[in-house]
With several copies, the nearest count.
Chain A
């Protein structure tokens, strides 16, 4: 069986999608000749030519806005924002047009645009290279937002995102680019809108996405060694949320910990907590606890491990809810 890194699996997803759909374009800053800062578009320009895979000037609003125009002309695009914070210049185009064009035109003009954004921290990056931009997108109606946590699921989610007639914000956990997984690449399996249980458990559920999934699995190991069997859920799809799975976890474990890197206030944890109140209040035996980044700007490399939820912080929260 082949072994894949996340970067390699995403690269293969783009390759397979480019092969299957001759009207698919891949472009952005440094994605062509260089193959992307994280090698996700490596070799694609050579294979598919500089008409289909190309570099752009440093113009994030321009990159996203041209994808909107290309969609009018019947082209599908995968565009890259080089790093999380560098997607902010394109927010106006995303919120005003990418998210709304289908509705505005009453379904006549779809926006099959995938916006890939290397996201989150943990790589000792510089300022603006470690942010968690998901809230800005998840709150914006008309978008879908997904985050893979493993190579094989990265392949699957990226293929699904590209195939989706709706725009998808595809957040790639930078810290996991070189993580490895064995198996066959397959676009089928859980779809956008579905989470997955990565570890069964009854005492509580640890809900996370991206890089924090691995930390939750580690925390579950720690907890297991203490006799607490924590379930671990990889959310995968932040918008739409897998309400069925959330409800099931609340019913079956009654105790929920949500983990993310983004600052706590109006991070995904808030929505998970509120949604669980909507759906399963009577099953909650403890408050939904949020283990998150602090409400501060993402810190410099020297402090990032004090910002990111640690295995110990996650385990501690689980102990707290389990003993509530």
Chain B
């Protein structure tokens, strides 16, 4: 009862969503986003490979090889389209659901999965080398980091920007707001990229806010834009525009990518407790991979052989990652101590020795 949804009273302009390719694969906008045929094909390849890996991860969790795993099925276009729009000097601060984006940035999937295996915390890969920040759990806190990082880029006079990923649910946290407001007032080169996947664990977006997320931007004095998050070309285009805008020193952009969380919140979650299976079936129609495959085929850019190659790569990559994961051993006990302080005291060293049984 407490949810509102009284949108008729609010005098907002009509909701627009950028879409270039409709769910049925037909073009509905200008699909010339400036990518080469290879790059266009690569988007599909990456989506296929990452979906296969995502499913492998869920299997790995079921088999006890990962502790918990938050799947991203359905969100491939949102992640891959946006990450592809970034340049090498740009930087990403992710949540915990951006494995597909991480791979675009060159993060090693096995190292990434150290996190979900319980091997190490959110920063197993080198965030500076990959320009992909540590996996971040406390909701919305990473958005503030992104804004700080973007401020650093601005102070350094770099032509670079920082992108923060976050979910629809994350926009309810104070940190989202402080980050967005600071981004506006400092006019930093930041892209605030919301994957609105319809759910925050068991809470649907309409119970998360009575407003529309992309409209928040206006209150912060910068543009907000809603994009079909399952349309990889549209996501790429919109993100690319925001990145270029940031590079030109014109400040932040808020992007709301409308997508859908096809799976449960994580392997620890049973979505059947709160979500109608019919809703999931309806969402399947908007699947990011199938529509893009249809469009690419209609452009004559791919054929059956390409698709088979993708499937094969996906298969072998998934198995390769599986192997890397299962072979990952627990780290030595001293890792608990080795990086807490740059120069530990004797008291700290004593605890370390005690823990090591010495």
Give A residues with C-beta under 8 Å from B. 25, 29-30, 32-35, 37, 49-51, 54-62, 64-75, 85-86, 88-89, 92-93, 96-97, 100-110, 124-129, 141-142, 144, 164-166, 193, 240-241, 243, 264, 294-297, 299-303, 306-307
Contact = CB atoms under 8 A, between A and B. Distances in A.
Nearest to A141: B340
B169 A294 contact: no
A164 B344 CA distance: 12
Query: Which residue, of A58, A96, A164, has the highest number of chain B Cβ atoms within 10 A?
Result: A58
Contact of B173 (A30, A59, A295): A59
Query: Which of the listed residues A54, A72, A141 has the most CB atoms from chain B within 10 Å of its own CB?
Result: A72
A175 to B, nearest CB: 14
Nearest to B148: A69
A69 B134 contact: no
Nearest to A39: B273
B172 interface: yes
Given A51-B1, A303-B331, A56 B182 contact: yes
A67 B148 contact: yes
Contact of B351 (A126, A295, A303): A295
A59 B182 contact: yes
A69 B274 contact: no
Contact of A86 (B116, B138, B182, B333): B138
Contacts of B152: 69-70, 72-75
B172 A57 contact: yes
Specify the main secondary structure of chain A where it touches its partner. loop
Contacts of A128: 137-138
Contacts of A29: 200-201, 203
B182 A62 contact: yes
A134 to B, nearest CB: 18
B38 to A, nearest CB: 32
A35 B202 CA distance: 9
A93 B126 CA distance: 21
Given A61-B175, A65-B175, A68-B148, A306 B333 contact: yes
Contacts of A62: 144, 147, 172, 174-175, 178-179, 181-182
A109 B123 contact: yes
A69 to B, nearest CB: 2
Given A69-B93, A240-B347, A307-B336, A55 B203 contact: yes
A73 B156 contact: yes
A7 B345 CA distance: 30
Contacts of A241: 347
A96 B138 contact: yes
B336 A34 contact: no
A32 B348 CA distance: 38
B139 A58 contact: yes
A297 B337 CA distance: 9
Nearest to A108: B126
B207 interface: yes
B212 interface: no
Nearest to A64: B144
Contact of B1 (A50, A67, A110): A50
Given A55-B203, A61-B144, A72 B149 contact: yes
A86 B119 CA distance: 22
A141 B337 CA distance: 10
Given A58-B139, A85-B138, A300 B119 contact: yes
Given A65-B175, A70-B151, A126-B67, A300 B182 contact: no
- Minimum-distance CB pairs A-B, first 9: A69-B148, A301-B118, A73-B152, A65-B144, A66-B148, A57-B172, A62-B178, A34-B202, A105-B123
Interface in B130-171: 133-134, 137-141, 144-153, 155-156, 162, 169-170
A57 B147 CA distance: 14
Given A30-B201, A73-B148, 15 more contacts: A29-B200, A33-B202, A55-B207, A57-B178, A57-B182, A58-B170, A65-B144, A67-B148, A72-B128, A89-B175, A106-B124, A107-B338, A127-B137, A166-B341, A294-B352
B185 interface: yes
A29 B151 CA distance: 17
Contacts of A300: 115, 118-121, 331
B205 to A, nearest CB: 10
Contacts of B290: none
Nearest to B147: A66
Interface in B208-227: 208-209
Contacts of A240: 345, 347-348
B128 A126 contact: no
B2 interface: yes
A268 B126 CA distance: 36
A103 B116 CA distance: 17
Nearest to B333: A306
A297 B338 CA distance: 11
Contact of A59 (B138, B174, B351): B174
A51 B155 contact: yes
13 contacts: A49-B1, A57-B209, A58-B170, A59-B173, A60-B173, A66-B145, A69-B145, A70-B148, A97-B138, A104-B122, A128-B138, A294-B336, A302-B117
